[in-house]
Structure 1
Amino acid sequence: MSEEIRIFVADLAAYNAGHLHGVWIDATLELDAIRAQVDAMLAASPVEGAEEYAIHDFEGFDGYRLGEYAGLESAHEIACFIEEYPAFGGALLAHFNDLEHARKAAEEDYCGCYSSLADYAQELTEETSSIPQHLALYIDYRAMARDLEMGGDVFTLETGFEQVHVFRNR
Structure 2
Amino acid sequence: MSEEIRIYVACLAAYNSGYLHGVWIDATADIDDIQDQINSMLESSPVEDAEEYVIHDFEGYGSYRLSEYEGIQSAHELACFIEEHGEIAAELISHFSTLEEAKKAMEEDYQGEYASLSDYAQEITEETSEVPSHLEFYIDYDRMGRDMEMGGDIFTIETGYQEVHVFWNR
TM above 0.5, one fold?
yes
In structure 2, give the amino acid aligned to 1:126.
E
**Match for residue 75 of structure 2?**
75
Aligned-pair distance for 1:91?
Answer: 0.4
Aligned-pair distance for 1:67?
Answer: 2.0
Aligned residues between the structures: 170
| Whole-angstrom distance in 2 between the partners of 1:68 and 1:15 | 13
| Whole-angstrom distance in 2 between the partners of 1:69 and 1:122 | 45
**Match for residue 110 of structure 1?**
110
**Match for residue 99 of structure 1?**
99
Query: Per-residue CA shift, 1:45-64, capped at 9, x if unaligned?
Result: 11111100000000011111
**Match for residue 153 of structure 1?**
153
Question: Is there any run of 5+ residues in structure 1 with no aligned partner, and where?
Answer: none
Query: Per-residue CA shift, 1:118-153, capped at 9, x if unaligned?
Result: 100000001111111110000000110011001110
| Whole-angstrom distance in 2 between the partners of 1:110 and 1:90 | 14
| Whole-angstrom distance in 2 between the partners of 1:87 and 1:131 | 35
| Whole-angstrom distance in 1 between the partners of 2:87 and 2:23 | 27
Question: Secondary structure at the residue paired with 2:111?
Answer: strand
Q: CA distance change for structure 1 residues 17 and 87 in 2, over 3 Å: closer, same or farther?
A: closer
**Match for residue 88 of structure 1?**
88
| Whole-angstrom distance in 2 between the partners of 1:13 and 1:98 | 30
Q: How does 1:18-167 map to 2 (within 5 A)?
A: 18-167=18-167
In structure 2, give the amino acid aligned to 1:123.
E
> Alpha carbon RMSD of aligned pairs, Å?
0.7
Aligned-pair distance for 1:39?
Answer: 0.2
Question: Secondary structure at the residue paired with 1:39?
Answer: helix
TM-score by length of 1: 0.98
| Whole-angstrom distance in 1 between the partners of 2:74 and 2:94 | 15
Question: Secondary structure at the residue paired with 1:133?
Answer: coil
| Whole-angstrom distance in 1 between the partners of 2:134 and 2:87 | 38
Query: Per-residue CA shift, 1:14-44, capped at 9, x if unaligned?
Result: 1011100000000001111100000000011
Aligned-pair distance for 1:84?
Answer: 1.1
| Whole-angstrom distance in 1 between the partners of 2:16 and 2:67 | 21
